[in-house]
Structure 1
Amino acid sequence: MTGPTVAAGHTVGVEEEFLVAEPDSGRTLAAGPKILARPPVGLPDGALLHAELRETQVEAATGVCAGEADLRAHLLAARNWLVEQATAVDALLVASGTPPLSFQSVVDEPSERFARIDYLYAGMVADYEACGCHVHVGVPDPELAVAVVNRLRPWIPTLLALSVNSPLWEGRDTGFGSWRMVQQSRFPGSGVPPYFADRADHDAEVARLVECGVLVDERMSFWLVRPSPTLPTIEFRVADTAGTVDEAVLFALLTRALVRTTVLDVERGAPAPRPGEQVAAAAVWSAARHGLEGDGVDMLRARRVPAVQLLRDLLHRVRPALEETGDLSSVRRVLALIRAHGTGAERQRRAAARYGIPAAVRMLAAETAGHSGEGWEQSAAGTRSRNDGGDR
């Protein structure tokens, strides 16, 4: 490739949002500021830790990574540091898209931007502790970024179905794989982005939404994939935060491969598909509801299809890109683990049903700290209660 497409789809970075929870009850705990109080030591170059909207949350961001080993090192270092600091204040670091048990957190002195968000969205964010896994794939050319996003839209629901990790909310099973996505759908302009003629069209639409008073600023759009407003990347905001590092790496490798594949479509002049807005909304809803366990919606044919078939279609599409980057074997390995042990949502649901929600939260914390999905049942059973009885 020549010109600006040479660098497109080569680099990747991940932002992971986490919950902070109390070990015995499993309820979220407003200990984020304490966890972030000490300057981090030993993180790779470019890796950062941040406060989030609520004091019951923290965020870790990798630096710009060129490959799987680099990315994995960044993710592990940040998680290890946050787990260590959480343990020091008698808290758990928990990777879940929504809190199974919540404690409403009020920030005494929020940043100016967070204060504006609280004011604008009022009750919608009063109990909003949703956590996502955001992947940035390098695409330096802003026009190319919009052209790629136009062609990514049919695959967004399948990425959600694979990443569902938020079935529990306020002590109950919601019946959804991603309750986080249901909560996010309340915000203006959420879901699959519309088609844009070019970058100017995209920027004008964002500016209109700001002018209409429904976005705090140009950084605030809620589309599930977008050209980043601050970085030379395409940002995927569709996934629930990943239970394990393996799953975070899987999602990053798949999205990078999807961008690399789509860049080639743009280069050869393949037209962007134009699925209907209602079909797109139905596809996102179905992915949030069923994950990989039921039907999804094929946006191009506007009909129900088993979600696992849509995942196979996605893998078939990106396989050449995964082979080119040497990532195919890693993707297959983690997908085999998910087939054997379930998505994050399935694992949460089983643990909560068998051992109670507080034990399920401790299982999530064990996975977050580095245990693989294989040991989830033993983790939950072994920490069923630190009190004198069951957790139910």
Structure 2
Amino acid sequence: MTTFGIEEEFMFLDRESLRPADVAADVFERLSASPEWHDVTHREFLASQVEHASAVFESLDDARRALLAFRREMAADAARFDVVAASVGTPPDTTPFPSITEQQRYNRIVRDLSGLIADHQMSGLHVHVGIPDREGGVIALNAARPWMPLLTAISGNSPLWRGYDTGYESWRNVQLRRWSTAGCPPSFIDADDYDRRIARLIGIGGISDRALIAWDVRLSEHLPTIEFRMADAQLDAETTILIAALCRGLVTHSLQKPSAPDAAADASAEVPPELLSAAVLHSAHVGLQAEVFDPLSGGLAPAGEAVRGFVRMLEPELSAAGDLDAVNESVSRLLHDGTGAARQRAALERDGRRALRALFDETITAE
């Protein structure tokens, strides 16, 4: 069974302004002191953030239980400080410049990237999927590239920024485009090609180490995994689980290809880089509210049709993992209720910050 792990970044917000609240150090101190949470709780770049870096899972049920348990514990801690624990790609409002966690590496990043950091107030969801080796990882990466637009459309949850509605489903995606290695990666010949090309990037454009390679999908530098990074942090654990299941199914599907060049040249993967870049930005803008890029047709298609087609393509892999029923149920809910971005926007229109606060409080531990 192909294994997977999940990294969820959470942000603490002031209950009135919904701006970042710098209580992460206090929450981290208590959580990390617990044997249950010590190994999976981490500080993050912002002083308002903590990260849950999960254990390794084989089943969606185990992952769901672990994610919900952490969310409940973290939300209870947030309540002690009278702040909101929110799982969102960007906060509804921000301070002019964020408070940064005191760490030598983070200080260097602030120095190297200067003005970009003012807008780097965001949280993501990262899904790690196990691979047999780095050659297999490059096969999976090449095959995953054309699906970045659709996965971006599914996972948009950052419509609000500095107190206004941006009109985008994933403003986080737009903000990240200013980094040197953001967006969809190129295709690669093999693992040596991947490592060689990354090595040439170090030291250029603020990329001071390999961990700053910010592509939407990349090989992990410290785990035997491929890491999907295109998703905003998700309002509820169930959508996180859906995205993880789709990523695992896609990797398992792609490893049927005999080689990295074959995966890159597959008919469904022949998408030129300029089209992929435009399609990802298109998805960040419209989410699932309009037509999205569908690699199976090579052009735009109704969002629901594209998502259902993606699931049908992965049906053998999802069935083998025991995930198909859960994925179909979650997809139906997603297409009915909308993305996190759509739900945030609806709350804002309904009753402003009060409704947003209620949405964050309800969804952080929703089953």
Scaled to the shorter chain, the TM-score interval is over 0.9
Is the aligned partner of 1:204 residue 2:211? no
The correspondence for 1:97, drawn from 89, 93, 98, is: 89
The CA deviation at 1:358 is 4.3
The CA deviation at 1:196 is 0.8
Q: SS of the counterpart of 2:29?
A: coil
* Aligned position for 1:231: 223
> Separation in 2 of the partners of 1:42 and 1:122?
38
Structure 1 residues 14 and 72, CA gap change in structure 2 (3 angstroms): same
Is the aligned partner of 1:346 residue 2:338? no
> Separation in 2 of the partners of 1:319 and 1:360?
36
- Which amino acid in structure 1 is aligned with residue 36 of structure 2? L
Q: Is the 8 A contact 2:46 2:98 kept in 1?
A: yes
> Separation in 1 of the partners of 2:208 and 2:156?
27
Q: Write the deviation string for residues 221-255 of structure 1: whole angstroms up to 9, x where unpaired.
A: 01101111111000000111111111111111111
- Which amino acid in structure 2 is aligned with residue 313 of structure 1? G
> Separation in 2 of the partners of 1:292 and 1:252?
18
Q: Is the 8 A contact 1:26 1:359 kept in 2?
A: no
The CA deviation at 1:104 is 4.6
* Aligned position for 1:11: 3
Aligned positions of 1:310-349 closer than 5 A: 310-349=306-345
- Which amino acid in structure 1 is aligned with residue 67 of structure 2? L
Structure 1 residues 17 and 109, CA gap change in structure 2 (3 angstroms): closer
* Aligned position for 1:265: 257
Q: SS of the counterpart of 2:128?
A: strand
Aligned positions of 1:156-167 closer than 5 A: 156-167=148-159
Structure 1 residues 21 and 349, CA gap change in structure 2 (3 angstroms): same
286-295 or 337-346, which moves further after superposition? 337-346
> Separation in 2 of the partners of 1:302 and 1:202?
26
Aligned positions of 1:40-119 closer than 5 A: 40-41=33-34, 43=36, 48-104=40-96, 106-107=98-99, 110-119=102-111
Structure 1 residues 33 and 299, CA gap change in structure 2 (3 angstroms): same
- Which amino acid in structure 2 is aligned with residue 367 of structure 1? T
Q: Percent identity?
A: 35
Q: Write the deviation string for residues 260-293 of structure 1: whole angstroms up to 9, x where unpaired.
A: 1111123795544342111011110111000011
> Separation in 2 of the partners of 1:78 and 1:150?
33
The CA deviation at 1:52 is 1.1
The CA deviation at 1:209 is 1.1
TM-score (norm 2): 0.93
259-268 or 323-332, which moves further after superposition? 259-268
Structure 1 residues 143 and 267, CA gap change in structure 2 (3 angstroms): closer
Aligned residues: 362
TM-score (norm 1): 0.87
> Separation in 2 of the partners of 1:196 and 1:20?
39
Ranges in structure 1 where 5+ consecutive residues have no aligned partner: 1-8, 373-392
- RMSD of the TM alignment (CA)? 2.0
